[in-house]
Amino acid sequence: MNPHGQTLNEKPVQSLDDALERCQQLGMRLSRQRRFILELLWQEQEHLSAREIYNRLNQRGKDVGHTSVYQNLEALSQNGVIECIERSGGRLYGNISDSHSHVNCLDSDQILDIQVELPAALIEEVERKTGLKITDYRVEFYGCRVT
C-alpha cells in the first residue's frame, strides 16, 4: 500500500465509473451520499476540503451531513478511491487521475495535476542514502505566471 491506499501496480481509478466500481469491489455500499461526494469530486478539477465539499453539496440541494462527509472522505481516501493531499488549512480531497504530482500557481490558488516520472538513478540514490525502499513519490512544483 502506498499513501494513496493503492499499490503502484493496482489498476488505477481514473473515472467516476471506476470509483463506483471500486467501491463495490471493496464492499462499500453506494449510498446516495457517497454517490454525491464522488460525483462532486469527479465534476471538479480542483482539490476541495471536507468543509468545502460539505458546503457545496448542501448548497446544491444534495443534503449530506458533515459527519457523513468526513467519514466518507476518510474511507474513500484510505481505500484509494479518491486522493487526499495536505495543504495549509488541512486536507484536500480530489479525484484520482493518473497524475500524482502537482503544480502550484503562486499567483492564484490553482493547483494543476501533472504526470512526472523521476529518473531511476535518482530514486536509487535516495534509497541508498536513506536505506528505505521507495515505493512512491510525488513532486510539488511552485510556479508563477509569465507576464
Partner DNA sequence: GTCGGTGCAAAGCTTTTGCATCTGC
Partner DNA sequence: GCAGATGCAAAAGCTTTGCACCGAC
CA nearest 47: which of 3, 104, 6? Answer: 104
Q: Which stretch binds DNA (CB under 7 A): 46-54, 93-101, 113-121, 132-140?
A: 46-54
Asked if residue 111 binds its own copies (CB under 8 A), the reply is no
Which of 78, 106, 109, 124: binder of its own copies (CB under 8 A)? 106
- Nearer Cβ to DNA, position 27 or 131? 27
Cβ-Cβ contacts under 8 Å for 1 (sequence gap 6 or more): 7
Are residues 94 and 46 in contact, defined by beta-carbon separation less than 8 angstroms?
A: yes
Residue 101 beta carbon to DNA: minimum distance, rounded to whole angstroms: 23
Q: Shortest Cβ distance from residue 11 to DNA (Å)? A: 20
Please answer whether residues 72 and 34 qualify as being in contact, where contact means their C-beta atoms are separated by less than 8 angstroms.
yes
Give me 145's grid cell.
Answer: 505566471
Rounded to an integer, what distance in angstroms lies between the CA atom of residue 3 and that of residue 136? 8
**Is residue 67 a contact point for DNA (CB under 7 A)?**
yes
- Map the footprint of DNA across residues 72-131, applying CB under 7 A: 72, 74-75, 90-91
Q: Which does 51 bind (CB under 5 to 8 A by kind): DNA, its own copies, none?
A: DNA
> Is residue 124 a contact residue for its own copies (CB under 8 A)?
no
**Maximum alpha-carbon separation in the chain:** 53
- Our finding on whether 9 is near its own copies (CB under 8 A) is no
Rounded Cα–Cα distance for residues 22 and 28 (Å) = 8
Interface with DNA by CB under 7 A: which residues? 24, 27-34, 49-51, 63-68, 70-72, 74-75, 90-91
